[in-house]
Amino acid sequence: MNSHSPLQNTQPPAVVVLDYGSGNVRSVVRALEHAGANVLLSRAEKDVMDADGLVVPGVGAFAAVMNALNSAQAVRMIGRRIAGGRPVLGICVGHQIFFEHGVEHGVRTAGIGEWPGTVEKLRADVVPHMGWNSVEPPEGSLLFEGIENERFYFVHSYAVQEWEFEQNNDAMFPPQVTWAHHGQRFIAAVENGPLSATQFHPEKSGGAGIALLRNWLATLPRTGRLNFEGNR
Protein backbone atom coordinates (compact mmCIF):
# COMPACT_ATOMS: atom_id res chain seq x y z
CA MET A 1 0.00 0.00 0.00
CA ASN A 2 1.13 3.61 -0.46
CA SER A 3 0.00 7.01 0.72
CA HIS A 4 -0.89 8.44 -2.68
CA SER A 5 -4.43 9.60 -3.28
CA PRO A 6 -6.99 7.52 -5.23
CA LEU A 7 -6.97 10.21 -7.93
CA GLN A 8 -3.23 9.78 -8.44
CA ASN A 9 -3.57 6.00 -8.51
CA THR A 10 -6.06 6.17 -11.41
CA GLN A 11 -3.29 7.54 -13.63
CA PRO A 12 -1.21 5.02 -15.62
CA PRO A 13 2.23 4.60 -14.05
CA ALA A 14 5.10 6.34 -15.82
CA VAL A 15 7.83 3.79 -16.56
CA VAL A 16 11.25 4.39 -18.07
CA VAL A 17 12.99 1.55 -19.90
CA LEU A 18 16.68 2.25 -19.47
CA ASP A 19 18.24 2.94 -22.87
CA TYR A 20 21.93 2.13 -22.36
CA GLY A 21 22.60 0.12 -25.53
CA SER A 22 21.03 -3.23 -24.65
CA GLY A 23 19.13 -5.07 -27.37
CA ASN A 24 15.49 -6.13 -27.38
CA VAL A 25 14.25 -2.97 -25.65
CA ARG A 26 11.39 -2.35 -28.06
CA SER A 27 9.66 -5.60 -27.11
CA VAL A 28 9.99 -4.62 -23.43
CA VAL A 29 8.44 -1.22 -24.18
CA ARG A 30 5.52 -2.81 -26.06
CA ALA A 31 4.86 -5.35 -23.31
CA LEU A 32 4.80 -2.65 -20.62
CA GLU A 33 2.43 -0.54 -22.73
CA HIS A 34 0.19 -3.58 -23.17
CA ALA A 35 0.27 -4.07 -19.39
CA GLY A 36 -1.02 -0.52 -18.90
CA ALA A 37 2.00 1.74 -18.42
CA ASN A 38 3.02 5.00 -20.04
CA VAL A 39 6.51 4.11 -21.25
CA LEU A 40 9.53 6.18 -22.20
CA LEU A 41 12.79 4.76 -23.55
CA SER A 42 15.48 7.00 -22.06
CA ARG A 43 18.87 7.26 -20.39
CA ALA A 44 18.45 10.88 -19.27
CA GLU A 45 19.02 11.19 -15.54
CA LYS A 46 15.92 13.31 -14.93
CA ASP A 47 13.71 10.75 -16.68
CA VAL A 48 15.31 7.84 -14.83
CA MET A 49 14.94 9.52 -11.45
CA ASP A 50 11.43 10.92 -12.00
CA ALA A 51 9.80 7.75 -13.33
CA ASP A 52 7.37 5.83 -11.15
CA GLY A 53 9.20 2.67 -12.19
CA LEU A 54 12.50 1.90 -13.95
CA VAL A 55 13.06 -1.24 -16.03
CA VAL A 56 16.62 -2.44 -16.65
CA PRO A 57 16.67 -4.85 -19.61
CA GLY A 58 19.71 -6.87 -20.54
CA VAL A 59 20.82 -9.37 -23.17
CA GLY A 60 24.22 -10.81 -24.00
CA ALA A 61 27.27 -11.09 -21.79
CA PHE A 62 27.37 -9.99 -18.15
CA ALA A 63 30.63 -8.04 -18.62
CA ALA A 64 29.35 -6.23 -21.71
CA VAL A 65 26.15 -5.18 -19.93
CA MET A 66 28.08 -3.91 -16.91
CA ASN A 67 30.47 -1.97 -19.18
CA ALA A 68 27.55 -0.38 -21.01
CA LEU A 69 25.78 0.52 -17.75
CA ASN A 70 28.95 2.09 -16.35
CA SER A 71 29.60 4.01 -19.57
CA ALA A 72 26.09 5.44 -19.39
CA GLN A 73 26.57 6.30 -15.68
CA ALA A 74 23.47 4.18 -15.14
CA VAL A 75 24.80 2.23 -12.14
CA ARG A 76 24.84 5.42 -10.08
CA MET A 77 21.29 6.31 -11.13
CA ILE A 78 20.00 2.81 -10.40
CA GLY A 79 21.66 2.91 -6.98
CA ARG A 80 20.08 6.28 -6.20
CA ARG A 81 16.64 4.95 -7.06
CA ILE A 82 17.01 1.87 -4.89
CA ALA A 83 18.41 3.89 -1.99
CA GLY A 84 15.40 6.19 -2.24
CA GLY A 85 12.91 3.30 -2.31
CA ARG A 86 11.99 3.97 -5.98
CA PRO A 87 10.93 0.77 -7.80
CA VAL A 88 13.31 -0.95 -10.24
CA LEU A 89 12.72 -4.12 -12.28
CA GLY A 90 15.62 -6.00 -13.89
CA ILE A 91 15.14 -8.50 -16.74
CA CYS A 92 17.46 -11.36 -17.82
CA VAL A 93 21.05 -10.01 -17.65
CA GLY A 94 19.37 -6.98 -16.08
CA HIS A 95 18.50 -9.42 -13.27
CA GLN A 96 21.98 -10.93 -13.06
CA ILE A 97 23.86 -7.65 -12.68
CA PHE A 98 22.25 -7.01 -9.28
CA PHE A 99 24.37 -9.83 -7.83
CA GLU A 100 28.00 -9.43 -6.75
CA HIS A 101 29.82 -11.09 -9.63
CA GLY A 102 29.46 -12.73 -13.00
CA VAL A 103 31.90 -15.38 -14.24
CA GLU A 104 32.08 -16.01 -17.98
CA HIS A 105 34.88 -17.92 -19.75
CA GLY A 106 37.03 -17.67 -16.63
CA VAL A 107 36.64 -13.88 -16.41
CA ARG A 108 35.15 -12.53 -13.18
CA THR A 109 33.27 -9.22 -13.47
CA ALA A 110 31.89 -7.16 -10.60
CA GLY A 111 28.14 -6.58 -10.62
CA ILE A 112 26.14 -3.93 -8.82
CA GLY A 113 26.13 -6.06 -5.68
CA GLU A 114 22.67 -5.46 -4.26
CA TRP A 115 22.56 -9.19 -3.48
CA PRO A 116 25.40 -11.60 -2.68
CA GLY A 117 25.97 -14.36 -5.18
CA THR A 118 27.75 -15.22 -8.41
CA VAL A 119 26.31 -15.66 -11.89
CA GLU A 120 27.83 -18.87 -13.30
CA LYS A 121 27.29 -21.22 -16.24
CA LEU A 122 24.42 -23.64 -15.80
CA ARG A 123 25.40 -27.27 -15.25
CA ALA A 124 22.93 -28.91 -17.62
CA ASP A 125 22.97 -31.31 -20.57
CA VAL A 126 21.58 -28.60 -22.85
CA VAL A 127 22.87 -25.02 -22.65
CA PRO A 128 21.58 -22.42 -23.32
CA HIS A 129 18.38 -22.95 -21.42
CA MET A 130 15.93 -21.78 -24.05
CA GLY A 131 12.16 -22.11 -23.85
CA TRP A 132 9.25 -22.28 -21.46
CA ASN A 133 9.70 -23.38 -17.86
CA SER A 134 7.69 -23.45 -14.67
CA VAL A 135 8.83 -21.56 -11.58
CA GLU A 136 8.53 -21.97 -7.81
CA PRO A 137 7.48 -18.61 -6.30
CA PRO A 138 7.36 -18.16 -2.53
CA GLU A 139 4.13 -17.71 -0.62
CA GLY A 140 3.07 -14.07 -0.58
CA SER A 141 4.85 -13.12 -3.81
CA LEU A 142 3.40 -9.97 -5.36
CA LEU A 143 4.99 -10.51 -8.77
CA PHE A 144 3.49 -13.97 -9.16
CA GLU A 145 0.10 -13.32 -7.55
CA GLY A 146 -2.50 -15.25 -9.52
CA ILE A 147 0.11 -16.74 -11.91
CA GLU A 148 1.95 -19.07 -9.55
CA ASN A 149 1.43 -22.08 -11.83
CA GLU A 150 2.20 -20.38 -15.15
CA ARG A 151 5.25 -20.98 -17.33
CA PHE A 152 7.68 -18.29 -18.46
CA TYR A 153 10.16 -17.93 -21.31
CA PHE A 154 13.90 -18.25 -20.58
CA VAL A 155 16.94 -17.65 -22.82
CA HIS A 156 20.19 -17.91 -20.87
CA SER A 157 23.32 -19.95 -20.24
CA TYR A 158 24.24 -18.42 -16.88
CA ALA A 159 22.37 -18.02 -13.62
CA VAL A 160 22.76 -17.65 -9.85
CA GLN A 161 22.53 -21.11 -8.36
CA GLU A 162 22.69 -20.38 -4.64
CA TRP A 163 20.95 -17.77 -2.50
CA GLU A 164 23.58 -16.45 -0.10
CA PHE A 165 21.66 -13.57 1.47
CA GLU A 166 21.49 -13.79 5.28
CA GLN A 167 17.80 -13.76 6.06
CA ASN A 168 16.72 -11.21 8.67
CA ASN A 169 13.18 -12.01 9.74
CA ASP A 170 12.86 -8.54 11.27
CA ALA A 171 13.62 -6.81 7.96
CA MET A 172 10.89 -4.57 6.57
CA PHE A 173 11.25 -6.13 3.11
CA PRO A 174 12.78 -9.60 3.48
CA PRO A 175 13.86 -10.88 0.05
CA GLN A 176 11.55 -13.35 -1.66
CA VAL A 177 13.25 -15.78 -4.03
CA THR A 178 11.62 -17.69 -6.88
CA TRP A 179 13.38 -20.79 -8.22
CA ALA A 180 13.35 -22.73 -11.49
CA HIS A 181 15.10 -25.89 -12.65
CA HIS A 182 17.20 -26.67 -15.71
CA GLY A 183 19.78 -29.34 -14.96
CA GLN A 184 19.89 -27.81 -11.48
CA ARG A 185 18.00 -25.26 -9.43
CA PHE A 186 18.67 -21.62 -10.17
CA ILE A 187 17.20 -18.29 -9.13
CA ALA A 188 14.41 -17.27 -11.50
CA ALA A 189 13.32 -14.06 -9.73
CA VAL A 190 13.91 -11.96 -6.62
CA GLU A 191 11.60 -9.47 -4.91
CA ASN A 192 13.32 -7.23 -2.36
CA GLY A 193 11.53 -4.00 -1.43
CA PRO A 194 11.86 -1.53 -4.32
CA LEU A 195 14.07 -3.93 -6.32
CA SER A 196 12.65 -6.84 -8.29
CA ALA A 197 14.27 -8.88 -11.05
CA THR A 198 13.50 -11.86 -13.27
CA GLN A 199 15.90 -14.20 -15.06
CA PHE A 200 13.20 -14.98 -17.63
CA HIS A 201 11.72 -12.56 -20.16
CA PRO A 202 8.23 -11.34 -19.19
CA GLU A 203 7.98 -9.57 -22.56
CA LYS A 204 8.34 -12.95 -24.33
CA SER A 205 6.13 -14.90 -21.92
CA GLY A 206 2.72 -14.21 -23.45
CA GLY A 207 -0.22 -13.63 -21.15
CA ALA A 208 1.67 -14.81 -18.07
CA GLY A 209 4.40 -12.24 -18.68
CA ILE A 210 1.90 -9.43 -19.18
CA ALA A 211 0.15 -10.46 -15.95
CA LEU A 212 3.47 -10.35 -14.10
CA LEU A 213 4.19 -6.87 -15.47
CA ARG A 214 0.70 -5.75 -14.41
CA ASN A 215 1.40 -7.09 -10.92
CA TRP A 216 4.62 -5.06 -10.80
CA LEU A 217 2.91 -1.93 -12.16
CA ALA A 218 0.25 -2.24 -9.44
CA THR A 219 2.96 -1.78 -6.79
CA LEU A 220 4.23 1.51 -8.25
CA PRO A 221 3.46 4.91 -6.75
CA ARG A 222 1.93 7.52 -9.05
CA THR A 223 4.10 10.54 -8.38
CA GLY A 224 3.33 12.57 -11.51
CA ARG A 225 6.98 13.64 -11.66
CA LEU A 226 7.56 12.46 -15.22
CA ASN A 227 5.76 14.50 -17.89
CA PHE A 228 5.65 12.35 -20.99
CA GLU A 229 4.40 15.15 -23.19
CA GLY A 230 7.51 17.14 -22.38
CA ASN A 231 9.92 14.24 -22.70
CA ARG A 232 8.91 12.67 -26.01
Q: Is residue 7 included in any domain, yes or no?
A: no
Q: Is residue 8 included in any domain, yes or no?
A: no
| Residue 172 pLDDT class (50, 70, 90 cuts) | low
Question: Residue 232: pLDDT above 70?
Answer: no
Q: Is residue 222 included in any domain, yes or no?
A: yes
Q: What residues does 185 pair with on adjacent strands? A: 181
Q: Is residue 5 included in any domain, yes or no?
A: no
**What is this structure's pTM?**
0.93
Q: Is residue 88 included in any domain, yes or no?
A: yes
Query: Which run of H or of E encompasses 229?
Result: helix 228-231
Q: Which residues are catalytic?
A: 92, 201, 203
Tell me how far apart the alpha carbons of residues 25 and 30 are, in angstroms, rounded to a whole number: 9
Spatial strand order of the sheet with 88-91 comes to 38-42, 14-18, 53-56, 88-91, 195-198, 185-192, 176-181
Q: Is residue 210 included in any domain, yes or no?
A: yes
Supply φ then ψ for residue 35, to 5 degrees: -75, -10
Cis peptide upstream of residue 221 (ω within 30 degrees of 0): no
Q: Is residue 207 included in any domain, yes or no?
A: yes
| Residue 9 pLDDT class (50, 70, 90 cuts) | low
Please report, for the domain that includes residue 113, its CATH number: 3.40.50.880
Is beta strand 99-104 parallel, antiparallel or unpaired with respect to 53-56? unpaired
Q: What is the pLDDT of residues 118-149, one digit of tens each?
A: 999 999 999 999 999 999 999 999 999 999 99
Nearest to 101 by CA among 54, 180, 158: 158
Question: Residue 170: pLDDT above 80?
Answer: no
Tell me how far apart the alpha carbons of residues 14 and 52 are, in angstroms, rounded to a whole number: 5
Q: How many domains does the chain have?
A: 1
| Residue 228 pLDDT class (50, 70, 90 cuts) | confident
Nearest to 115 by CA among 141, 95, 135, 89: 95
In the prediction, which pLDDT does 229 show? 59
For 173, the domain range is 13-231
Q: Is residue 1 included in any domain, yes or no?
A: no
In the prediction, which pLDDT does 4 show? 42
Tell me how far apart the alpha carbons of residues 18 and 170 are, in angstroms, rounded to a whole number: 33
Q: What is the mean pLDDT of residues 101-113?
A: 96
Tell me how far apart the alpha carbons of residues 88 and 219 are, in angstroms, rounded to a whole number: 11
Overall size of the chain counted in residues = 232
